[in-house]
Structure 1
């Protein structure tokens, strides 16, 4: 193939040269016939060779034009080749979306700087964007690309003198710089970076909330190459994720073991969701002061094949970090709706959804699809959202929740008093119920001042036409006081701890039935779910 192309190129050059020489012959014939060469030839001493001389001049001129044309073509080819090589080199060492250095260039540059620094004072920061997976899931990949580009621009603007910023892949970035004798420069720069990346990104009339968690590794004798430094920074970053995101951590040797345990837990959780190991437990919700059973709150438990029954504190945070929370929630909701079909039709189910799910524009469709699939009436379902879920996108929340309410699903604001809600949120979103956080209910016996806070919340709900539910009730005196203040519903260990479907079925059969109503007494509360108060209450 190569020889054929070279031959074809040579034949093309020869044909081009012959054509130009023939043009020269034509010019000679025209000049001879028209006597155009007479003036020129009078200045030469070769009058007897005038015709042959001009023929040679014309043909030589054609060859000269062919040579010049060939030289220019070769020059253009060489320029194009060099440009293509430069583009290939740039593409091989830079990220196509953001224009930042890629992993290859970052590692090469880092190794080069480590080799010439003695002793090295190089810091490597590994940055992972918080909540990025939900951006792609909720807004689409175009929005994800916009977020990545915006993050890259913010990091490029903060890049320290002589430093390098790179996109390693996905939503993972890295920065390296020489901090010299100023060791405080590393945390100071990192805090500026996190603050910049935590600002919302505008997209299609929405404000996408992200953030960043940063792991930091400093060059040492044990970490003197790019591979070990990046790994150490990665370990520190995951430690920051577990500690709550939006923060940074310096690498410490003992972190490695914890990361391996977390990776194993994530893999087991992913498999557990698929195998149906996450199951719903049910905690009674009663009317006050009559203690008539009106329904259950659904709480997730993981029946781990090796570790036994695990409470939500041990896996819900991991599910949110890894993006498994939606899959987990839908599985629990589907199972709970199926379980409750055989219970008395007046009993309701209250199910919590995560802030990430609330950002999903298909949230109403997903919930209604589960209700249709299981045959569970929308009027028996109550969706609980936390206050922190409202700060991300109020308009998206309004549309989703209103759509659900139009189908008869009730909406409750969970853990009221612990987040960021305001009277504006309560008015705009038109909740059906407020749930008073257990920390306020637990403070009632501690004194009149604490009780006034609960009284104020109940009065606020009443003024807005919202029913109130008190969480964490553990003694009868609290029941009487809450009922006197106008609190409509209550739940807590006094009425029962969360238990599985089989236990709930048995308790429903045992609880007294007065005039068609199930009424709980202190002696008929459910047994412990063996996860302890903290896990059971979550």
Structure 2
């Protein structure tokens, strides 16, 4: 039975009950003379008992109508309250209670519509740094606690007349009046970054995140509220690019830069599929003899317009967009094909990105490439940086052990630049340490750097590891490193990264395994 039918039956039943009450009142009055005055009126005017019955029943119906009106008024009030509550929920973030994207855009639109020639309001877009590890390590409950703490801190910071919103995920925004000019905006942005950086206490843990802020003025020249938010987002992205934990103010050049980046990203995706990115090879030599013992694989992009591009132009984009795995596996496959016909003692060193290292099937993918190309695992050396290890140490241990069980060697790259090098050396098993070039290129000019490099070499030897020094450019560096016991060297002194044809020709030349003469990079 429908709900409408149920209500109809209920109303009919109620009306019948009220009619019966009216009839009962009439019986009481007529039979027991309870209403003497009413009876006298009836006798004097000749009103029949039937009329009195109808009158009393009509009175009962009138009472029913009044009661129904009161109930209906209460129902309308409840409906309006529920509608207001639903509207509030639709315009506010459920978790934090802040305005949501819809309400925030409406507020920006209203300010933009009333803006004069001089902007009176600004939008500050906040994106949290290091928020994902909180969710991954402690769970979503901890992540929610951080988001609520950030919301509360923003409420305390924004001035009167400001609007704070959670736009989604770990992205927040505030709309504030420009009461103190640009200096006030800068102070507010700095205060936001400082407040977000304070630890959030949760279940005995101090959860720490950071924040990067992008600032955009609400100007009438911008197309709409979305354009204002987009401008703030561009400024925030620039802050992320410049090192996070800072603020940037939107400039029109940022939009041009982002468009250029988007164009490069599209070209990179096509270039990977077309094989325009190829492996170049930089010699690695034994010290002090300068005998060639292997090569490191380095990516080069033969761009049809921009020419030969180094990794600094595209690796960061590949990592941010998730293309890095496809790129690296293609490079590894081609490098294995190139190197399998080179002398059997030459090692092939390849870099594995932190994103790849999170892949549980990394070992299987590498084994598949080695099997497909027929390249011996014992000739492959995988280089990883410490940033690849910080997410999950046990998973890292499992992956490294699996690779070493295949016969693949593991090198810890850029040693000395990470924040927990000694810890990782203690917990994980490596075959080689690579000393970062920032230490090597100053050893002959800085006693402090020389002492640090000497300490790294001695530490490596005490752990049974071999050491490679990167960025060697002078014979003086070679002499010093050899004297301290460094095993291998790499740098422009021995050869710049070169394509396969150039290295193959070098290996075929007389005395190919001696690297005493420097080589120029081939474009």
Q: Is the pair's TM-score, using the shorter chain for normalization, greater than 0.5?
A: yes
- 1:41 corresponds, among 34, 38, 56, to 34
Unaligned runs of 5+ in 1: 513-517, 531-538
- 2:100 corresponds, among 99, 102, 110, to 102
**Which residue of structure 2 aligns with residue 519 of structure 1?**
513
* Cα offset, 1:75, TM superposition: 4.0
* Cα offset, 1:211, TM superposition: 4.2
Structure 1 range deviating more: 239-248 or 40-49: 40-49
What is the RMSD of the two structures over their aligned residues, measured on CA atoms? 4.4
Asked whether the 8 Å contact 1:458–1:468 carries over to 2, the reply is yes
Deviations 1:419-438 (A, max 9, x none): 32343332123333211112
* Cα offset, 1:179, TM superposition: 4.0
Asked whether the 8 Å contact 1:302–1:311 carries over to 2, the reply is yes
**Which residue of structure 2 aligns with residue 371 of structure 1?**
367
Deviations 1:328-375 (A, max 9, x none): 3344334434544444555433222334444x2xx3422422322441
Question: 1:510 and 1:155 mapped to 2: Cα distance?
Answer: 67
* Cα offset, 1:283, TM superposition: 1.7
* Cα offset, 1:89, TM superposition: 2.7
Asked whether the 8 Å contact 1:23–1:62 carries over to 2, the reply is no
What is the DSSP-based 3-state SS (H/G/I as helix, E as strand, rest coil) of the residue aligned with 1:89?
Answer: helix
Question: 2:271 and 2:209 mapped to 1: Cα distance?
Answer: 28
TM alignment of 1:129-140, pairs within 5 A: 129-130=128-129, 139=136
What is the DSSP-based 3-state SS (H/G/I as helix, E as strand, rest coil) of the residue aligned with 2:502?
Answer: helix
**Which residue of structure 2 aligns with residue 258 of structure 1?**
257
1:453 equivalent in alignment to 2:452: yes
Question: 1:32 and 1:19 mapped to 2: Cα distance?
Answer: 20
Distance of aligned partners of 1:312 and 1:143 in 2 relative to their CA distance in 1, 3 Å threshold: farther
Deviations 1:389-444 (A, max 9, x none): 55566565455445544554433222222332343332123333211112322223
* Cα offset, 1:125, TM superposition: 1.4
Distance of aligned partners of 1:432 and 1:374 in 2 relative to their CA distance in 1, 3 Å threshold: closer
What is the DSSP-based 3-state SS (H/G/I as helix, E as strand, rest coil) of the residue aligned with 2:211?
Answer: strand
What is the DSSP-based 3-state SS (H/G/I as helix, E as strand, rest coil) of the residue aligned with 1:184?
Answer: helix
- 1:82 corresponds, among 58, 80, 83, to 80
Asked whether the 8 Å contact 2:145–2:202 carries over to 1, the reply is no
* Cα offset, 1:212, TM superposition: 3.5
* Cα offset, 1:504, TM superposition: 3.5
Aligned length: 510
Question: 2:220 and 2:17 mapped to 1: Cα distance?
Answer: 76
* Cα offset, 1:281, TM superposition: 1.9
Q: TM-score, normalised by structure 2?
A: 0.79
1:244 equivalent in alignment to 2:243: yes
Deviations 1:299-344 (A, max 9, x none): 1212212112100122223334444444433443344345444445
Question: 1:380 and 1:201 mapped to 2: Cα distance?
Answer: 48
Asked whether the 8 Å contact 1:473–1:491 carries over to 2, the reply is yes
Deviations 1:270-320 (A, max 9, x none): 332333332222222233334444332221212212112100122223334
**Which residue of structure 2 aligns with residue 268 of structure 1?**
267
Question: 1:495 and 1:248 mapped to 2: Cα distance?
Answer: 43
**Which residue of structure 2 aligns with residue 474 of structure 1?**
473
Q: TM-score, normalised by structure 1?
A: 0.77
What is the DSSP-based 3-state SS (H/G/I as helix, E as strand, rest coil) of the residue aligned with 2:467?
Answer: strand
Asked whether the 8 Å contact 1:235–1:256 carries over to 2, the reply is yes
Asked whether the 8 Å contact 2:18–2:64 carries over to 1, the reply is no
**Which residue of structure 1 aligns with residue 283 of structure 2?**
284
* Cα offset, 1:120, TM superposition: 4.2
* Cα offset, 1:468, TM superposition: 1.0
What is the DSSP-based 3-state SS (H/G/I as helix, E as strand, rest coil) of the residue aligned with 1:245?
Answer: coil
* Cα offset, 1:202, TM superposition: 9.6
Unaligned runs of 5+ in 2: none
Distance of aligned partners of 1:394 and 1:27 in 2 relative to their CA distance in 1, 3 Å threshold: same
